[in-house]
Structure formats: C-alpha cells, structure tokens
A and B are shown apart, each in its own frame.
Chain A
C-alpha cells in the first residue's frame, strides 16, 4: 500500500496536502509534489485536501495513472522534503480551472 501524487499536481502544487501530512513524506521539484512510499503511513489525510484531486491510494488508482507509483518513489528519493504549505505555482488557478475544478 502507498499513496501517490499524480499529474493533476503538475504546474499547480497547491500544497494543501503538506500541512496535514503527519510524517512529512512529501517532496517537491519545480513542477509538483511526490510522496515517499518509505515514509508515508497511508493515513489518506492528504487525499481530500487536494483541490485538483491529484492524490490516490494505490488500491484505487486509475490504470492510466499507475506509472506514477514508480515516479513518486524515484523522485521522492532524490528531492528535498516539503514540510509547510507554500504559495501555489503561478498559473495554478488557471490550471485548476482547465482541469475542471
């Protein structure tokens, strides 16, 4: 079991998820966030926080997004941790509207 950030986060990075993560398992790059499966405790607190519904449990992830399981593990291992909510990326609101939220 693990929890995964998928492509809806790309160019949004709202980071609402980060402030409810009990174990600081989110990592970030310039585009989006990733969850470290080694640290995540599968509490699912982050899932309803995401304004663009980018986060899934692996039990529940759509087939076309399954490759994100590996991407999260790989990226999180290399990237810095994010522990506090930050400003969304510029253009996040437009991107959110584009995604239909």
Chain B
C-alpha cells in the first residue's frame, strides 16, 4: 500500500467533540502537508460545543469564532457526524478499527463539587446547569431556577462566575436581543433578585476574571457593582504579584475593582453585585431550601504567585436564596480511554494519551479542556490542538498498520445498522438557518431549538 497520508492512502482521523479544540484539531490536520480525512463526531445534533452553549448570549461577537469553524467544515475532507455518542452509539474500540487515530476533544462537562454540608439542598446549583439552561442546551432544558429570591450567591471568580453574575444582574432589555433561550428570558423577566454576591477564596489580586468582562459590570443599566475599600487591602506578596512585569491582567483587574470601590451608589439601580474576597464556603444551611451560607474568612499564605487561601476559623453568615458554584470543571470518563480521577482529565503527554503510569496508548490523542483541564479561553485551544496534531503527525509511521481502513463510510454503515439517526453538516445547516429565521422577528440573532427532537424535525 502507498504511504499513509497520501492521496491514495489518506490518514483517517476521528475527532470526538465538535467544540473549539475539535475544530482547531481538524484545521491543523486539513492545513498540514499530510493528506487527511477528518470526521468529527458530536453528541448533539448541533456543533460548536461551548461556543454555542457556553459563551454567554450577550457576547455575540465571541461567537463569531463559528465563522472560522464553518470554513473548516466546508473542506472536502471534512465530515460532521452529529447526534452520535461515542461510548454508547459507537465504541472507542470500533473507532480505532475504522480510523488511524482518535482525538478526544470532548471538554469538561461536569462541575467540581464544594464538598460541604448542604450542597444538595434545593436552590444550590452548578454554574454549568445555569449556563446550559440560559444557552438552550437540550441537557438542561427542563431545569428550574427560582429567581423569586432576594439574594443570589456565586462561588468562584473566574469567567463563568462572571457570566452567571452578569446574566443575573442584567435587565430583560439588556438581554432580549441576544440568542438567550426564550424559556430563560421568561424566567429572568420575573427575577426578584436584589443582591448578587460573587465570592472568591483568594484576594482581589488573584481573581481570574478577564478585564473586559469585569469592565462590563460598570456599564449595567440596573445594577451597581460594589467592592468595599477594606477588601482591597493587599498583603506584601500580593503587592509584589501586581508589581511584576507581565502580570498585566491582574493589574488591570485590580484597577477595575479599585474604580468600582469609588463609584457612588446609583440609587436608581435596583440591584447590587458585590465582589467579595478571602472567603471559603463551609456550610449551606436550610431545611429543604437553602437559607444561609456559612463562609470562613481566609488569609493568604505562601510566596508571590503561589499563595493559597488558609481558613482562620472565623466565620460569617449570609442569607441566600439561590446559589451557583463555579469552582472548576471536570471531564467525564469514556469507556476504553484512560482517565485521571483527581484531575478529571485524560492523562497525556503533549496530547498523546497515556495510561496513568505514563505509558503511551497507541492511536489515542486528546486536546482542549479534557487534555489540560478547564483553563484558558477559546483561542488557548488553538495552540493546544496544534501541539497535539504535531505529535500525531510525527507518529505517522506508528499509525500505519498496513491494513486498509474505511473511515466515515464504515461508521455510517455501523450507525445505520443500529438505526441511529446521524446528522451531517448540511443537515445541521438547515437547523441553523431555521433558528436564525425564527429569531429574526424577535430581533434576536437566532432562537435556539432546545429539544433534540425539534432539531431533527427541521431536517428535510
């Protein structure tokens, strides 16, 4: 047989998950010198992962990353095989037979727990659930969030925490022309929230927001951002962190917090969003619904940039009606693929999947959050996927078993035999067009279908 990666014997790659890291892996393969056919397998009928269902609806410009993914999907050697779950509809073992290599880019789909008493009381939610719900993700369609409360608490100070707090802080007018799901907009319209508390374990010099996102809190039409001046006092190590060249992001964040602390309270605005620091959740108290949150005051200890939060045993309580935790994400294990239980990732060496003891597993690769953990933003995944593809392409000899593989055509026949309704990119485009059409009269960029059956019913 001719050399692998040539026109007569193309490299056949299956990618599991159609979010940014999946598309960037596809892009790197398609643009490489090697002739490759790329099949992206996606669990939902809709592609684009967190760009569709994670990125906040009021950040439409970020969602324009999809324009690039559309171009990649238009390449002749690309297939989208959507509405197919790997591990259920088709196994990893089967993919290893149909393709030369399999790349897992399936993200971190579940939340880390707080591991405190009361965490499962009614009214305590994960940020993932809320984000999925307002973004119209079918998995979270039926959830209910009781916003008839006075106080919401968000545990965590990263970008997702910022999204959740901002959506809760905005008015319907600020959201109605976005692609927020209609069911979410209807519930937000009835929100009675007066206070939103965004709580960080560490201090204002360590918050993980992006400056751009934080700045938005200063421009809300009906919400005052609030930071107490005493909360801005820094220890020497934190001062050193902010003085360090290269730490521009935290410097800007701290500057914005300082600006907020000087704002005069606008009494015409009905909501307050408090940013609070050095507090660790200890217990959630309530009978069936959450009522109070007990927080332990923390101090920082350690060298600059390595400071960790230590409890002081001194606690405070706040009344709370609804709580969201946003303290990190974990991947979900896939049958037939090694998994690092503590980190919630697939163990790997620069994207080559390994056993937990470090031994490389032939044919399996990974990229994105499931590879490196839940850090970074959309673009971070481009560099991450590119590293994985470089490794994969340098393994070509090892991946060439000399036996003929059949790629997508064999997957299709397996799925058809099992009567599994798979969705290709053209079919997805029909759903896409219809969503845009339905959104138009409402002045929305699209109205998303939130049930899988609805999406499938649109396809001609």
A, B in one complex? yes
Using a CB–CB cutoff of 8 Å, the interface residues on chain A facing chain B are: 1, 19-24, 41-48, 51, 53, 57, 59-60, 83-84, 100-101
Given A19-B382, A22-B68, A41-B64, verify A47-B249 contact (CB < 8 Å): yes
A59 contact set on B, CB distance < 8 A: 212, 215
Measured CB to CB, the closest approach of chain B to A38, in angstroms, equals: 10
* Cα distance A19–B68 in the bound complex, in angstroms: 15
* Residues 360-414 of B contacting A (Cβ, < 8 Å): 376-383, 386
Contact B249 A48 (CB under 8 A): yes
Q: Once the chains are docked, how many angstroms separate the CA of A101 from the CA of B62?
A: 30
With the chains together, A41 CA to B20 CA distance in Å?
14
Of the A-B pairs whose beta carbons lie under 8 Å apart in the complex, a sample of 18, sorted by A's number, is A19-B383, A19-B386, A20-B379, A20-B383, A21-B382, A22-B24, A22-B65, A22-B378, A22-B379, A42-B62, A42-B212, A45-B380, A46-B379, A47-B249, A53-B248, A57-B211, A83-B31, A100-B245
- Which residues on the A side are within 8 Å of B24 (C-beta)? 22
A83: chain B residues at CB < 8 Å are 31
Cβ contacts under 8 Å, A100 to chain B = 245
* Contact yes or no, B64 A23, CB < 8 A: yes
Give the distance in Å from the alpha carbon of A20 to the alpha carbon of B67 in the complex: 17
Shortest C-beta distance, A85 to chain B (Å), equals 8
Complex CA–CA separation, A47 to B68 (angstroms): 21
User: Which residues from chain B contact A1 at a C-beta distance below 8 Å?
Assistant: 61
Nearest Cβ on chain A to B249's Cβ, whole angstroms: 5
Please report which residues of chain B, range 420-435, place their CB below 8 angstroms from some CB of chain A when the two chains form the complex.
Answer: none
Interface of A is mostly: loop
Q: Closest residue to A53 on the B side, CB-wise?
A: B248
Complex interface: chain B residues within 8 A of A41 (CB): 61-65, 378
Contact of B65 among A23, A51, A53 (CB under 8 A): A23
Give the A-binding residues of B (Cβ under 8 A).
20, 24, 31, 61-65, 67-68, 210-212, 215, 245-246, 248-249, 252, 376-383, 386
Residues of B within 8 A of A21 (CB): 379, 382
| Nearest CB of A to B50, in Å | 12
A100 to B63, CA, bound (A): 36
- Chain B residues with Cβ below 8 Å from A46 are 379
Residues of A within 8 A of B381 (CB): 22
Looking at the assembled complex, report how far the CB atom of B74 sits from the nearest CB atom of chain A, in whole angstroms. Answer: 15
A45 with B211: in contact, given A23-B64, A53-B248 (CB under 8 Å)? no
Q: For the complex, give the distance between the alpha carbons of A25 and B381 in Å.
A: 16
Residues of A within 8 A of B386 (CB): 19, 84
Nearest Cβ in chain A — how far from B24, in angstroms? Answer: 8
Task: Collect the chain B residues with CB atoms within 8 Å of residue A19's CB.
Answer: 382-383, 386
Q: Report B233 CB to chain A, min CB distance, Å.
A: 25
Main secondary structure on B side of the interface with A? helix
In the complex the two chains form, what is the Cα distance from A57 to B212 in whole Å?
Answer: 8
Find the residue from A21, A42, A44 having the highest chain B CB count within 10 A: A44
Question: Which B residues touch A45, using CB under 8 A?
Answer: 376-380
Residues of A near B245 (CB, < 8 A) are: 100-101
Pick the 4 closest A-B CB pairs, nearest first.
Answer: A45-B379, A22-B379, A20-B379, A22-B378
A57 to chain B, nearest CB (A): 6
* Known contacts A1-B61, A48-B249, A101-B245: A43-B379 contact under CB 8 Å: yes
Q: From the candidates A23, A43, A48, name the one contacting B248 in the complex (CB within 8 A).
A: A48
Residue from B31, B61, B68, B380 in contact with A42 in the complex, judged by beta carbons closer than 8 Å: B61
Known: A22-B65, A41-B61, A42-B212. A60 touches B252 (CB 8 A): yes
Contacts of B211 in A (CB 8 A): 44, 57, 60
Q: Which residues of B contact A43 (CB under 8 A)?
A: 62, 65, 377-379
**Nearest CB in chain B: distance from A52 CB, A:** 10
The docked-state distance in angstroms from the alpha carbon of A22 to that of B211 is 19
Cα A45 to Cα B20 in complex, Å, equals 14
Q: Give the CA-CA distance A45 to B24 in the complex, in Å.
A: 15
Smallest distance from the beta carbon of B214 to chain A beta carbons, Å? 11
Knowing A22-B68, A24-B68 are in contact, say whether A44-B210 is a contact too (CB < 8 A). Answer: yes
| Set of chain A residues within 8 Å of B249, measured between Cβ atoms | 47-48
B250 and chain A: residue at smallest CB distance: A48
Contact B377 A23 (CB under 8 A): no
Kindly list chain A residues whose C-beta atoms are within 8 Å of the C-beta of B68. 22-24
Smallest Cβ distance from A96 to chain B, in angstroms? 11
Residue of B nearest to A85 (CB): B383
Nearest CB on A from B185, distance (A): 24
Contact in complex: A22, B382 (CB < 8 Å): yes
CA distance A51 to B246 in the complex (A): 7
Contacts of B382 in A (CB 8 A): 19-22
Closest chain-B Cβ to A42's Cβ sits at a distance in Å of 5
Which A residues touch B67, using CB under 8 A? 23
Residues of A contacting B62 with CB < 8 Å? 41-43
List chain A residues, Cβ under 8 A from B380.
20, 45
Most buried by A among B24, B63, B64, B376: B64
Query: Looking at A19, A22, A59, A100, which has the most chain B CB atoms within 10 Å of its CB?
Result: A22
